Amino acid sequence: MPDPNGFLRYERRLPARRPVAVRITDWREVYPPAGEELIREQATRCMDCGIPFCHDGCPLGNRIPDWNDLVRTGSWDAAVESLHATNNFPEFTGRLCPAPCEAACVLGLGGQQPVTIKQVEVEIADAAVARGGLTPRPVPASTGRSVAVVGSGPAGLAAAQQLARAGHAVTVYERDDAIGGLLRYGIPDFKLEKQHIDRRLAQLAAEGVQFRTGVNVGVDVTAEELRARHDAVLLACGALQGRDTPETPGRPLRGVHQAMTHLVAANRVVAAAGDGRPAPAVLPDGTPIDAAGKHVVIIGGGDTAADCLGVAHRQGAAGVHQLDLYPEPPHGRDAERDPWPTWPWVLRNYPAHEEGGERVFAVAVQEFVDDGTGQVRGVRIAEVTVERRDGRRIVTALPGSERELPADLVLLAIGFEGTEEQPLLAQFGVTRNARGAVDARPDWQTDADGVFVAGDMHRGASLIVWAIAEGRAAAAAIHSYLGGVGDLPAPVDPARQPLAAR
Ligand SMILES: Cc1cc2nc3c(=O)[nH]c(=O)nc-3n(C[C@H](O)[C@H](O)[C@H](O)COP(=O)(O)OP(=O)(O)OC[C@H]3O[C@@H](n4cnc5c(N)ncnc54)[C@H](O)[C@@H]3O)c2cc1C
Ligand code: SF4
């Protein structure tokens, strides 16, 4: 029985982040472990509210009050079991999820700070490792059916684990040189150190999952070949088509890149250094993969932009501006616009923001300015207003508000336009919809029989928690398609959306 008064005795507290001056000299994670005393205290704030809206906030339906109480009482093994019942990879979500569950915590109704759900989650996940590792659960008998999973991000990996545990032979195909999708080279080490991925992969391998890296499906192996080898295919290729701004004057200048071009290359340098391997120091266009001594301008306000900011500081940038088209959001929930328990539009401060740089809101780039040699020298911006008319976004510049920011390196982090157009799509006979995503029928199949889709490729650029939830649900549908015995858990259906007021 949870403590109904814990939240009255304890305030919300998180472990202190590592000092900025120290952490920007390395690539280690920003948060140290919380310590048992703190985390048990914080779990005690979960008050047995009766109708836990956090369940609905979490796409995985994590049994949050159950494991909070198990942590409160120090029942760590049971907490590990309870958490893994709904989430294959809590070490990823516990570190990286924006925690819509916390926005839906019932404590928020009474004006209290929510329970530190995400922190409790990561501590349970790390306790699993500390208490003997991530024990593999291989199945004794095979079903004799086989599944190809294309793409090794959290959606593909969650599906692979679920299917292997149901007795199917699973092969994950990944075109990159390492498994993990965006977790591997998209998300920097200061948010997720890569040993967490490697530990999980060892568990999946011990459960029978086969991994094939360096295989670009549609190029190195055709869809026809894959379908001949396997009884079902899951496409989990992500939504990696970066949005660009080709109409902005000066876009072709050297030093103006897609954020992911710089970010992935920078993360590869860190990975190579960790393994003692050499890594390229320049991009294909000859630009150094380094912000050292440079004035950096990051365009965009989301996760990718914040990750570029943290990378730029660790590389020793001379200064960083982060530009956002929209005005500065409110610092607290606007209950009229986003009533509890929905996800509120508020200013999100990532740890990277306390490391330096200047955020500039309600501005748009008018021109990337040439230094006379074809290299960017600055960014000319104007203050703007943004309105929606007939579903279209209208951006209006304020006359006389233009100014120039110095810029040797410009990173475009302005979102993604869905899954990439690539040979695999036509070969499997699936098409991108108007959002650049691939539609799924209610049973997660695409227009091609026996070909399923999950994660960002289906949903559009989203979150790890949604990718895992969709991977689990698609695995359940594949299991059923293959005539598997019993049902696997399916936390979401293809139409499921985040909690919304309207
Ligand atoms: C910079 C950045 C930071 C982010 N930070 C966060 C965060 O802090 N928290 C959060 O919740 N979410 C974050 N996200 C979003 C999150 O990473 C994604 O929602 C999630 O990774 C999607 O998982 P997925 O499995 O659908 O696809 P992905 O992780 O994108 O994996 C898709 C994989 O498919 C492979 N692939 C594609 N085509 C083929 C092919 N033809 N053959 C073989 N392999 C192929 C790709 O190489 C890739 O490895 C971030 C995203 C970015 C870009
Ligand atoms: S996965 Fe995300 S939403 Fe779900 S409990 Fe963890 S932090 Fe909350």
Q: 499, 104 in Cβ contact below 8 A?
A: yes
pLDDT for res 500: 85
User: Look-up: residue for tokens 């593909």?
Assistant: 156
DSSP codes of every residue in 391-416 = TEEEEEEPTT--EEEE-SEEEE---B
pLDDT reported for residue 295? 98
Beta bridge partners of 169: 146
Q: How far apart are CA 340 and CA 336, in angstroms?
A: 10
Torsion of CA 70, 75, 80, 84, to 10 degrees: -40
Among 14, 53, 60, 124, name the best residue to mutate to test ligand 2's pocket (greatest count of ligand atoms within 8 A of Cβ). 60
Q: Note the pLDDT of residue 247.
A: 96
Residues 6+ apart with CB under 8 A from 395: 325, 364, 384, 385, 386
95 lines ligand 2 (CB under 6 A): no
- Strand (E) or helix (H) holding 278: none
Task: List pocket residues of ligand 1, CB cut-off 6 Å.
Answer: 96-97, 150-156, 173-176, 181-182, 186-187, 191, 216-218, 236-238, 240, 263, 303-304, 307, 422, 424, 455-457, 462-465, 467
Q: Which among 108, 97, 4, 100 has a CA at the least distance from the CA of 46? A: 4
Cα 345 to middle of ligand 2, angstroms: 18
Query: Distance from the CA of 374 to the center of ligand 1, in angstroms?
Result: 33
Structure tokens at 418: 């869905």
pLDDT given at position 502: 66
Sheet with 295-299, side-by-side order of all strands: 256-258, 409-412, 295-299, 319-323, 358-360
Burial of 445 (0-12, 13-18, 19+ CB in 10 A): buried
Identify the bridge partners of residue 242 per DSSP, sorted by sequence position: 416
β-sheet bridge partners, residue 400? none
Residues whose CB is less than 8 angstroms from the CB of residue 173 and which lie 6 or more positions away in sequence, other chains included: 148, 149, 150, 151, 152, 212, 215, 217, 221, 226
Give 466's Cβ-side CA count (13 Å radius): 21
Q: What is the pLDDT of residue 423?
A: 98
* Distances in whole angstroms, Cα of residue 444 to Cα of each of 438, 456, 478: 10, 13, 8
pTM over 0.95: yes
Q: Kindly list the averaged pLDDT for each block of 10 residues, start to end, along the chain of length 502.
A: 90 96 96 93 94 94 96 97 97 98 94 96 96 89 97 98 98 98 98 97 98 98 98 98 97 95 93 82 77 97 96 97 96 93 94 97 98 97 95 94 97 98 98 97 98 98 98 98 97 95 74
pLDDT of residue 110: 83
**Which of 413, 412, 359 shows the shortest CA–CA distance to 253?**
412
> How much distance in Å is there from the Cα of 183 to the middle of ligand 1?
7
Give the pLDDT of residue 282: 77
Displacement of CA 479 from its chain's centroid (Å): 26
